[in-house]
Structure 1
Amino acid sequence: MTTREKRFDKVITLLPILGIALFVLFYIIAALFYPEGSYASPNQSGFSLKNNYLCDLLDNRAINGVFNSARTYARIALGILCFSLILFWYQLSKLFDRKNRSQTIMSIAGMLSMLITLFLASGIHDFIIRIAGVFGVIALLISFIELYKANYYKLLLIGIICLLLFLTNYYIYETELLIDILPLIQKVTFLSFISWFILLSVHIYRKLR
């Protein structure tokens, strides 16, 4: 690999971090434009961190039926995030010295999960979440095995915590047990995942130096 190719490779490695930052920016803008309403409080003003789900920003209408002026920014944010994480899963195998077929499956499953997630605003939210979740869990479990074999124990622990948070979200959503606090848990889970993705991207970048 030439010096120019190595530099290009390192720049590409940092793109998921840039994409995550842009996602956060656009989602903050979307939250500011969200008109009103949540399932817990249909007449509330604006977007509530406590009561609104992140997916509420993607819908054509706010919870109370008002036109959702936030949807364009939210959909741009979702598109940026999904393409950034497609790139992330494509590059994750660079973190490991020994290559194997499992890493290829990991990358494909991760990329498929993000590609499917792009369709969250299509009106079949639950179906999309379940299918994307299956591929995502496959990618995560394989990544855990590879992180363990490569002695990245701290990154492995953070990843396991993220997965446990995700499973907690899914359990609450399906059973409606403690459903009132699910919007807040969802945001904690989301922040945990993107923090983990950033840490992994930084480690890949350092690996290529």
Structure 2
Amino acid sequence: MTTLINKKHHVFIRLPMAGMILFVVFYIIAAMQYPGGSYTFPNKMGFNLKDNYLCDLLDGQTINGLQNTARTYARMALAILCFSLMLLWVYLPKLFTVKNKGQIIMSVAGILSMVITLFLASEVHDIIIRIAGVFGTVALILAVFELYRDQYLMLFYLGIICLVLFLTNYYIYETELLLYTLPLIQKITFIFCLSWFILLNRALHKKLQVK
């Protein structure tokens, strides 16, 4: 029976990490396929790390009016990432020694954030960002608190950085203060958050002693 449980965990615990790696691969492909155009430089060719948002790759048309040949890869990447992180949020409470209701709220908020993010390519992009952002913030705060309480200090400090970056993105997005910096800050945030999620995934794998 224990062997069967371990095999089950072996499959599902490894999937989020694999999904995050696939997300990066598909998004790089999408960026290479992007015809061009950003809000700062509408007629500039190609995808620019400094000027383009990751969401630009999801649109049916580019900002300069061309058909977006990158969107298929970008939407596949988004779906893979969302389902991967949903699975991680499902399993994350197992990382902690003492179980409580806060972990359930954390898990549900994280899952809802990813479910809502799946619709990021829709015409109500701004609403999706705001709603998913609220659920995501709740999940991150609770996760960071639980990490501190269980003495996962490295993950706690990295989680604080991710939370600060996440809230910085949200603040700039809402206030438009220093908006020109947001595309680059967005990518820095993604790097930190994906790194954190991967480390969480590894810690969870070790905690469950999946061989």
- Kept in 2, the 8 Å contact 1:57–1:68? The answer is yes
TM-score (norm 2): 0.97
Q: In structure 1, how many angstroms separate the alpha carbons of the residues matched to 2:24 and 2:199? A: 16
Provide, for residues 66-94 of structure 1, a one-character-per-residue CA deviation record: whole Å limited to 9, x for no partner. Answer: 11011111000000000000000001011
Please report the RMSD computed on the Cα atoms of aligned residues, expressed in angstroms: 0.9
Q: Is the partner of 2:85 in helix, strand or coil?
A: helix
1:149 matched residue in structure 2: 149
Q: In structure 2, how many angstroms separate the alpha carbons of the residues matched to 1:142 and 1:30? A: 33
4+ residue runs over 2 A deviation: none
Q: In structure 1, how many angstroms separate the alpha carbons of the residues matched to 2:172 and 2:101? A: 35
Q: In structure 2, how many angstroms separate the alpha carbons of the residues matched to 1:24 and 1:145? A: 28
2:91 matched residue in structure 1: 91
Provide, for residues 125-183 of structure 1, a one-character-per-residue CA deviation record: whole Å limited to 9, x for no partner. Answer: 11001100111111111112211110111111111111101111111122222111110
Aligned residue type for 2:29 = I
TM-score (norm 1): 0.97
Q: In structure 2, how many angstroms separate the alpha carbons of the residues matched to 1:34 and 1:72? A: 11
Provide, for residues 33-79 of structure 1, a one-character-per-residue CA deviation record: whole Å limited to 9, x for no partner. Answer: 11010011011111101100000000010010111011111000000
Q: In structure 2, how many angstroms separate the alpha carbons of the residues matched to 1:182 and 1:20? A: 22
1:119 matched residue in structure 2: 119
Aligned residue type for 2:189 = T
- Kept in 2, the 8 Å contact 1:39–1:52? The answer is yes
Asked whether 1:181 is paired with 2:198, we answer no
Superposed counterparts of 1:193-204, under 5 Å = 193-204=193-204
- Kept in 2, the 8 Å contact 1:10–1:208? The answer is no
Q: Which runs of 5+ in 1 are unaligned?
A: none
Q: In structure 2, how many angstroms separate the alpha carbons of the residues matched to 1:124 and 1:7? A: 41
2:137 matched residue in structure 1: 137
1:11 matched residue in structure 2: 11
Per-residue deviation, 1:7: 2.3
Aligned residue type for 1:178 = L
Per-residue deviation, 1:10: 2.6
Superposed counterparts of 1:160-179, under 5 Å = 160-179=160-179
Q: In structure 2, how many angstroms separate the alpha carbons of the residues matched to 1:174 and 1:148? A: 30
Percent sequence identity over aligned pairs: 62
Q: In structure 2, how many angstroms separate the alpha carbons of the residues matched to 1:105 and 1:35? A: 41
Q: In structure 2, how many angstroms separate the alpha carbons of the residues matched to 1:161 and 1:105? A: 21
Q: Is the partner of 2:121 in helix, strand or coil?
A: helix
Aligned pair count?
209
1:101 matched residue in structure 2: 101
Greater mean deviation of Cα atoms: 113-122 or 145-154? 145-154
Per-residue deviation, 1:8: 1.8
Asked whether 1:27 is paired with 2:4, we answer no
Aligned residue type for 1:184 = L
Q: Which runs of 5+ in 2 are unaligned?
A: none
Per-residue deviation, 1:97: 1.5
Per-residue deviation, 1:101: 1.3
Provide, for residues 87-129 of structure 1, a one-character-per-residue CA deviation record: whole Å limited to 9, x for no partner. Answer: 0000101111111111111111100000000000011111001
